[in-house]
Amino acid sequence: MLACVPTRHDRPPRNSRPPRAWGIKRPHSPPPPRRGGRFRITGADLSASITVFLLAVPMSLGLAVAMDAPLEAGLISAAIGGIVAGLLGGTPLQVSGPSAGLTVVTAELIQIYGWRTTCAITIGAGLLQILLGSLRAARSALAVSPAIVHGTLAGIGVAIALAQLHIVLGGSPQSSAVANTLALPDQLGRVSPAAPLIGLLTIAVLVLWPRIPGHIGRVVRRIPAALVAVVTATAVAASVAPGIARVDLPSWRSHALPEMPQGPVLALATAVFTVMLVASLESLLAAVAVDKLSADRAGGRTAARSQAGPPSASASVSVPASAPPLTAPPAPPFPPVRRSDLDRELRAQGIANTLSGLVGGLAVSGGAVRSSANVRAGATGRASTVLHGVWMVLATGLLVTVLEWIPLAALAALVMMVGIKMVSFAHIRNVHKHREFLVYGATISGVILFGVLKGVVIGIAAAVAVALHRLARTRITVTDQGEHHLIVVRGQLTFLAVPRLSRTLGQLPQGGDVVVELDGFFMDHAAYETIQDWSLAQKAHGGRVVFTGRSGGRIAEPASSAHSCCRPWTPWRNHHCHDRPAQTPETHHGPGTPFSGTCTGLDPTAGADRSSSPSTIGAHGSAPGVGPASDTGAHTTHTPATPPAAPRRPGGNRLASGLSSFQRHTAPLVREELARLAREGQRPSQLFITCADSRLVTSMITASGPGDLFTVRNIGNLVPPPDADSGDDSVGAAIEYALDVLKVESITVCGHSGCGAMQALLDAEPAPDTPQTSLWRWLRHGLPSLERMASRHHAWARISGRLPTDAVEQLCLTNVVQQLDHLRAHESVARRLSEGTLQLLGMYFHVGEAQAYLLTEGASAGLALDEVFDRVDPGDAPGNASARATAEVEAPVEPHALADVHAHTRTSAASHGTGDADTPEPTTTPGGPSAPGDPSGPSQLERTGV
């Protein structure tokens, strides 16, 4: 049983990767060394450092109050985190300081061991961080389930909010979250009005300040909401509540330094490990978040620069309200974003914690709140982080009197809001979507009830239990469908499911036909061996076994099969595998059986008639000559020279199956991008006019995605002239909308090989009484292309490197050039061309060769006599294909072949009364026949009028 393993082709070979000097790195790899090594301070870094400083001062004091630690310890840790971690860290834009995640842990340690021993524990945690960073263990920390990490932080946030609520109400917090909850009713019974009112005022400013609308709001929001809230609360408290509890900064002479820890060794080691774990996880998660914020900021600014441009002053069409808005002038670019070096960041956090503990400061970690404020304030490097630390040092010596006016209730309300925000509803939705809410709930409950370390252990145990449950939960059902048995396996196949699987397989009749549908993503060795042995025994008795996925696509096949299975990364191709007719003699199982094809052997539409018949116009309702592999003329049906087309499944079933596959596999991958396009509107850069032929997949051959191409498809990729008697407003309206509203930069007319519309123009000879059908009225717009090919005044369009194979290909090439001429006749196109803001491109795609050709630049612009389509090679850089020389490598061609092509063209044109009756025949020279359009041949000189 050979499994069809998905093959990744988007990963470049090892020898083709760019050198490291290019600055391209894998995610979270160390950044390249800074050239010059100078510490540069820009204006943006200076202003960002002030913003972060104004936010960090109340945050540091508030966290110190929440931990019941000396208030100056919060300022010390903020200064050390900014200077030391800022200089040495691997995330330049991350701001470190007192850890909100360690609030509950530090408060418990201070209550049990005292402040001086807690400082020693901080030193031990910092040394352990340095060791783990040196061992490059930072990546391993991110391997913990996100549900456990976010559950831990959410539990800490709940505990912080409950503790600070007591201070807001004018009381003192208890030792644990459970005790704070139980003591809350008693606290509400003896509440004093001053502290709660100041707390409510602080919360109101924090919530409403970022929501101030209009231009005034955009200006004032540059000031941190935390600073405004604390300043407002301080001013109000000074006037209406002078007796409220305020910040009390003790003298630096009485500042306590660490001492040798005393207590049970195991308990102290557990405390050191807990501080290290929480501080490290918080710092590393903040580093990853800073990377994302920096990338989003740089990406948004790059997009703004690429879309900015001067509006067209000569636009004559009014732009509707739904049109894309005019963009502002491009803003100054941000420097390239560098990924974090997580191991270096972990070592820097360890050094900062060691120094902070030595001088009597709180534990340090990277903060998401301060870091996001730094990024949004426009910081470009680590200078803003270091300067913020310098301002904190100055504040501890110069602003003591000012800081002592701050009411404790305001700081408690600020920290309480920080704790509430740690319970992120976005994280809850995310873990619920991935079916890990049980792990999240167990972790947050464990942290609240039993503490951080025990809560993490409970979360890990819940994650292991959920994983084992998913591995063991396997449902196996058997259905007798008459001619074969269907076995459906839902869930993962592990050794735990082997007994039940063996029992089910043993009950099937030997020698029968069986379809096994596997709906899971894991199969261990024991289950694989069980299925392999049963499959071989079933085939030895004359039976047939087919393995499929949930959607009916084949995922395994017998080793003797000559045809390789379809790849999951080409879902548009899978239906051809399902529909492929048998290529080797096999036992006939009747129409509609799942064993009538050699690739999959399975038809999801079992019971449908899959008998094939030659493709005709009436059978499928397609336009004459437009269907795949069709040589049908305009009014006649020819027997195809190629083998009959693969039988088709009913259209409704195919559509439903394709939509289901899209919703299951593709929609989750593109939903975010499509949501962005839905918000911002479409802004394509190209108008792509091509044929409606089903074999022409525009997004595939142009490697484009949603929002890239504004596509117009019609039979024969025709562009009716604006003054045509029977013009077409649909194509003209699309051209005007693309140019005047969407402001596209280029228009491409793409023809293709085997075009049924061109074949119809060559073959059709309508009689006077021929009914004027819709199809024929449309194809009349292609008659100028036929005239151009038969005219002596135009060179034959040709492909660089070879001659057109027949008259159909010659007309397909000529039609592209003619439609470009029709485009230039449109007023909006002519105006944009005169302004120099539009480019016209001609393209030809050979379906059988999967090869694209571009019309040379001069011919596309209508400035060259030679109309040559150059081959686009895999290594061509943008613009190389159209800029290459138009010299053509002459291929040996029989003289009668050219004569047949030319005679066919003359006959078809003469039947419409449009061709030149005296068009000369191509002449041959001693060196070989003259190629159509070859400047060296006399025929070419006559045709171009030279």
> Please, how many CA atoms are within 13 Å of residue 382, restricted to the half-sphere of its CB?
21
pLDDT more than 70, % of the chain:
70
- State residue 445's pLDDT score: 93
Torsion 283-285-287-289 (CA) sign: negative
Q: Specify the residue for token string 């913020």.
A: 388
> What would the two tokens of residue 427 be?
């994280």
Contact at 8 Å (CB) between 364 and 77? Answer: yes
Contact at 8 Å (CB) between 384 and 48? Answer: yes
SS3 per residue for 568-632? CCCHHHHHHHHHCCCCCCCCCCCCCCCCCCCCCCCCCCCCCCCCCCCCCHHHHCCCCCCCCCCCC
Residues in the chain: 946
Maximum mean pLDDT: which of 219-228, 763-772, 828-837 = 828-837
Q: Which residues contact 49 (CB under 8 A, 6 or more apart)?
A: 379, 383, 384, 385, 386, 387, 388, 390, 391
- State residue 305's pLDDT score: 52
pLDDT band for position 81 (50/70/90)?
very high
Q: Specify the residue for token string 């707390």.
A: 199
Q: Looking at per-residue confidence, does 191 or 81 come out higher?
A: 81
C-alpha to C-alpha distance for 705 and 81, rounded to whole angstroms: 44
- Helices 383-398 and 71-80 pack at an angle, to 10 degrees, of 150
The SS3 of residue 132 is helix
C-alpha to C-alpha distance for 122 and 142, rounded to whole angstroms: 22
pLDDT at 309 over 60: no
Per-residue burial over 107-137, b if 16 or more Cβ lie within 10 Å, else e, is bbbbeebebbbbbbbbbbbbbbbbebbeeee
Helices vs strands, H then E, count in the chain: 37, 17
Maximum mean pLDDT: which of 199-203, 622-626, 893-897 = 199-203
- State residue 710's pLDDT score: 93
Q: What is the pLDDT of residues 877-936, one digit of tens each?
A: 554 444 443 333 333 333 344 344 444 444 444 444 444 333 333 333 333 333 333 333
C-alpha to C-alpha distance for 869 and 858, rounded to whole angstroms: 11
Q: What is the pLDDT of residues 855-888, one digit of tens each?
A: 887 777 766 667 788 888 876 655 444 444 333 3
C-alpha to C-alpha distance for 160 and 62, rounded to whole angstroms: 11
Q: Give the residue among 694, 731, 724, 729 at the shortest CA–CA distance from 710.
A: 731
C-alpha to C-alpha distance for 211 and 269, rounded to whole angstroms: 46
The SS3 of residue 154 is helix
Q: Which residues contact 402 (CB under 8 A, 6 or more apart)?
A: none
- Between strands 485-490 and 839-846, the pairing is unpaired
- State residue 726's pLDDT score: 59
C-alpha to C-alpha distance for 267 and 74, rounded to whole angstroms: 25
> What would the two tokens of residue 592 be?
């509609």
The SS3 of residue 679 is helix
The residues pairing with 855 across neighbouring beta strands, listed in sequence order, are 869
Q: Give the residue among 103, 31, 23 at the shortest CA–CA distance from 60.
A: 103
> What would the two tokens of residue 102 be?
């360690």
Q: Give the residue among 886, 890, 898 at the shortest CA–CA distance from 924.
A: 898
C-alpha to C-alpha distance for 554 and 565, rounded to whole angstroms: 7
> Which CA distances in Å does 745 have to 67, 732, 829, 841, 864?
60, 17, 11, 11, 22
Q: Which residues contact 678 (CB under 8 A, 6 or more apart)?
A: none
Q: Specify the residue for token string 């740089």.
A: 298
Q: Give the residue among 358, 270, 275 at the shortest CA–CA distance from 102.
A: 275
DSSP of 417-462: HHHHHTS-HHHHHHHHHTT-HHHHHHHHHHHHHH-HHHHHHHHHHH
- State residue 917's pLDDT score: 35
The one-letter amino acid code at 523 reads M
pLDDT at 11 over 70: no
The SS3 of residue 467 is helix
Contact at 8 Å (CB) between 350 and 122? Answer: no
- State residue 839's pLDDT score: 92
> Which CA distances in Å does 660 have to 490, 672, 699?
18, 19, 21
- State residue 364's pLDDT score: 93
Ranking 6-10, 555-559, 779-783, 932-936 by mean pLDDT, the lowest is 932-936
Q: Looking at per-residue confidence, does 306 or 261 come out higher?
A: 261
Average pLDDT, the chain: 74
Q: Which residues contact 551 (CB under 8 A, 6 or more apart)?
A: 604, 657, 660, 661, 664
> What would the two tokens of residue 364 be?
């340090």
Contact at 8 Å (CB) between 133 and 429? Answer: no
Q: Give the residue among 494, 545, 498, 490 at the shortest CA–CA distance from 519.
A: 490
Helical segments of 434-541, H only: 437-450, 452-472, 498-506, 525-540
pLDDT at 552 over 90: no
- State residue 84's pLDDT score: 94
C-alpha to C-alpha distance for 565 and 598, rounded to whole angstroms: 10
C-alpha to C-alpha distance for 817 and 340, rounded to whole angstroms: 52
Average pLDDT over residues 804-827: 91
Contact at 8 Å (CB) between 600 and 610? Answer: no
pLDDT at 105 over 50: yes
Ranking 64-78, 548-562, 655-669, 804-818 by mean pLDDT, the lowest is 548-562
| 810 CB burial (10 A radius; 0-12, 13-18, 19+) | buried
Maximum mean pLDDT: which of 136-140, 419-423, 776-780, 809-813 = 809-813
> Which CA distances in Å does 230 have to 55, 205, 388, 526?
10, 9, 19, 64
C-alpha to C-alpha distance for 94 and 90, rounded to whole angstroms: 9
pLDDT at 313 over 60: no
| 546 CB burial (10 A radius; 0-12, 13-18, 19+) | buried
